Amino acid sequence: MAILTIQSLNLQIENKILCRDLTVQIGENQRWGLLGKNGAGKTTLLHALIGQRHASQGSIQLDGKSIYDLKQRELASKVGILFQQGIEALPATVFETVMLGRHPHTQPLLWDDQKDIEIAESALAAFDLDQLKERDVGTLSGGELQRLALAMLLAQTPQLFLLDEPSNHLDVAFEVKLLSVLTNKVAETSASLIMATHDINLAVRFCENIILLLADGESLVGRSVDVLTEENLSQAYGCPIKSVSSGDHRLFYPA
Amino acid sequence: MIAQKQILLLIALTVFCVASIVFSLLSGSVDITVAQLSQSIFSSEPSLNSQVLQEIRVPRTLAAFVTGGLLALSGAIMQVLLRNPLADPYILGISGGAAVGALSAILVGATGFWLSNAAFAGALFSIFLVFGIANKFGNWSVTRLLLTGVVVSAGWGAVINILLTTSSTNNVQSMLFWLMGDLSQSSVNPAHYLLLLVGMVGGIAVSRSLNVLIRGELLAVSLGVNVTSLRLLLFFSASVFTATAVTIAGSVGFVGLIIPHMLRLVGARDHRILIPSCVLLGGSFLVLADSLARTLIAPQQLPVGVVTAVIGVPAFILILRSTIRK
């Protein structure tokens, strides 16, 4: 069954059309890459999926219900997003911050539920932050802050993960780690994931499906192997792109 | 997570609160000892002491506590709403509106009831003026609200200056007292206690959402906070708390700005703790400041706003210094 159905979606900012007649069905345990050049509308599309940008036409349905009919809290308990800017380093401990991810689920007013604490702790552990639990967020490095933002998203336990440039500030080792943690999480919980990235090769390695935003609001939707071709990518980015293959790996590079 | 340390903070603040109230009841031109205080609380026999307490000190102490509590609560809320550490209860021009109302009332010779009502009406007018302008196009971003508030404040400031420069010397004296914040003419009624109580309980009820909202609108939305209605609620409740506080005591400075900051610095960053702490510390701070205002140069009285500023300015500079060091 499809988790998310985007039907004939049109998105525009002022007069610029970012998305025209976009139709995508995203099912359980699927990983989607969202590619397109700077300003193509990747972030706008992700924000539209949490109801922060009204579509000029078309519908976005989650489990068969329009997202505009859902309460903010209900939507947040099902769809979680990692923003491109990550999180701000406001004065708080790492643990206090990751607990915010539980917000859409927390019930008791004053005390924290033991279950919420456990989920938050395991989210920290998943990104190797458990040793930093009591540290002040202001003292974290850029990479640690990005991992904290990812841990917060994990603590939110959404059915649909939206990631805007998740590998920002991360070294290669953590990039690989991030992908494996998210892949496992998506598989374990029958969730799904959409990742906007400027790194074509990251999308190749990690996503079996692709939404490729072209100029003028056109888009290509389909399996990664079909969509990610030299020709399509060259058209999307407006610069010649070639690929090499080594074993199972395909690598794209600007020619 | 609410750590033990934070519970201890609440207990310490409660103790401080009781101590400040006792101190306030004991200080003044008539000497009352602790023994006499407890005697007049527990016996119904009329005496000079119990008369002084019942008619002068208890109402004034309560007025100070309610005013301080409301201001600190409003300051904490404004700082979340505007996401600005320099936000205070007066930043959106509410006190300016109240001041123009109050000063106009003084100008025409009104006192007591009518003075209070004029101040409250001025505050309400300013709230709706700011909201109306900021909300004109259905788009009230934080920056827009803040700028509107600051500009409206400046406008009120000009009107206040006109009133001060054109009034007789006699009136100017009362006007300055009002502007600096003064509890000597204050009276509170049960509606005021109720407002403080409802404000605190309501603040605690939305405290989890406040924890998220202070991190930015977009993040709050993504974590399920209904930002539009929460911000409306915060704007109007903080405005009413401020309007009530200035109606009771004039524009007492610094309580609403420094109390939330002091508490955040000692670790009360979670609003579940910060909100009740603000009420306790804000209230106690003003009770202490008012005790000093009454006794420092007795039999003359200082406006309480002067005392809070004298304590508040150095405290705020210390806070700024420690933030920079981080």
pLDDT of residue B325: 53
Better-scored residue on pLDDT, A90 or B140: A90
- Nearest chain B residue to A88 by CA distance is B215
Residue-level length of chain A: 255
Asked if residue A176 has pLDDT above 80, the reply is yes
pLDDT of residue A67: 92
Q: Do A52 and B219 touch (CB under 8 A)?
A: no
My answer on whether omega of the bond before B299 falls inside 30° of 0, hence cis, is yes
The domain in which residue A160 lies consists of 2-254
Span B159-176, average pLDDT: 90
Q: Do A87 and B215 touch (CB under 8 A)?
A: yes
DSSP annotation of A165: S
Q: Do A91 and B269 touch (CB under 8 A)?
A: yes
Residues of chain A contacting residue B208, judged by C-beta atoms under 8 Å apart: 103, 106, 109
pLDDT of residue A157: 94
Asked if residue B138 has pLDDT above 80, the reply is no
Residues of chain B contacting residue A156, judged by C-beta atoms under 8 Å apart: 223
Residue-level length of chain B: 326
| CATH node for B11-325 | 1.10.3470.10
Q: How many domains are there within chain A?
A: 1
Span A233-255, average pLDDT: 89
Residues of chain A contacting residue B218, judged by C-beta atoms under 8 Å apart: 47, 52, 83
Better-scored residue on pLDDT, B180 or A193: A193
Q: State the pLDDT confidence band at B54, using cuts at 50, 70 and 90.
A: confident
How many pairs of residues across A and B have Cβ atoms under 8 Å apart?
A: 69
State the ipTM, two decimals: 0.90
By mean pLDDT, which of A58-67, A124-133, A166-175 is the weakest? A166-175
Span B107-125, average pLDDT: 88
pLDDT of residue B202: 95
pLDDT of residue A171: 87
Better-scored residue on pLDDT, A239 or B39: A239
Which residues contact residue A86 at a Cβ distance below 8 angstroms, ignoring those fewer than 6 apart? A145, A146, A149, A168, A169
Of the candidates A72, A90, A117, the beta carbon closest to that of B224 is on: A72
Instruction: Please give the model's pTM, rounded to 2 decimal places.
Output: 0.90
Percent of chain A with pLDDT over 90: 62
Percent of chain B with pLDDT over 90: 50
Span B261-289, average pLDDT: 92
Span B192-196, average pLDDT: 94
pLDDT of residue B320: 67
Which among A136, A150, A153, A143 is positioned nearest to A94, based on CA atoms? A136
pLDDT of residue B324: 58
Best interface-test mutation with A: which of B141, B222, B269, B272 has the largest number of A CBs within 10 A? B222
Chain A interface residues (partner B, CB cutoff 8 A): 47, 50-52, 71-77, 80-81, 83, 87-88, 90-92, 95-96, 99-101, 103-104, 106, 109-112, 117, 138, 156
Q: Please report, for the domain that includes residue A133, its CATH number.
A: 3.40.50.300
Q: State the pLDDT confidence band at B318, using cuts at 50, 70 and 90.
A: confident
